[in-house]
A and B are shown apart, each in its own frame.
Chain A
Amino acid sequence: MNALRDDLHELALEAPSVDLASRALAAARRRRAVRLTVSVAATVAVVTGGVAVAVGAPERATVVTPQVSPLPSDVITQEARPLPGNGVGALLEAYQQQGRWYLRTREGQSYDAGEVIQGDGPLSITADGRRIAYFDRKLRTIVVRDLASGQIWGAPLQLPARTFDAEYALRLSPSGMRMIVAGWGAGRGRNVLVDLVKGSVKELDRAWFPVSVSDTGAAVLIRPFDDHTSLRVLGHDQITLPDFAYDFSSLAPDGKTIARLGQTHDPDRRPQIQQDRTIILTDALAGGDRPRVKLSGVPSELNPARLGAWLSADEVTLLAVPTSARDGNAATVYAVNVRTGQARKLFVTQDATRTTVPGLVS
Chain B
Amino acid sequence: MDRYEGFREFVDARQQSLMRTAYLLTGDSHLAEDLVQTVLTRVASHWSRLAGTGNPEAYTRKALVNQHLSWRRRRSFSEIAGLEVPDRGEAHDDATLRRLALRQSLAKLSPKQRAVIVLRFYEDRSEQETAQLMGCSVGTVKSQTRYALSKLRALAPEEAYR
Contact = CB atoms under 8 A, between A and B. Distances in A.
A12 B20 contact: yes
Interface stretch (A20-28, A43-51, A328-336): A20-28
Contact of B24 (A8, A27, A31, A353): A8
B126 interface: no
Given A11-B99, A15-B23, A186-B66, A24 B30 contact: no
Interface in A16-36: 16-25, 27-28, 31-32
A25 B136 CA distance: 31
Given A12-B24, A185-B70, A18 B19 contact: yes
A244 interface: yes
B11 A24 contact: yes
B128 interface: no
Interface residues of B, number: 55
Interface in A307-360: 353
B82 to A, nearest CB: 13
Contacts of B37: 20, 23-24, 27, 271
A27 B30 CA distance: 17
B36 to A, nearest CB: 6
A25 B48 CA distance: 13
Contact of B62 (A12, A184, A186): A186
A28 B41 contact: yes
A271 B98 contact: no
Given A3-B161, A99-B49, A21 B23 contact: no
Contacts of B11: 20-21, 24
Contacts of B73: 184, 207, 209, 223-224
A80 interface: no
A227 to B, nearest CB: 9
A99 B102 CA distance: 45
6 contacts: A7-B99, A10-B95, A27-B41, A185-B135, A226-B75, A267-B78
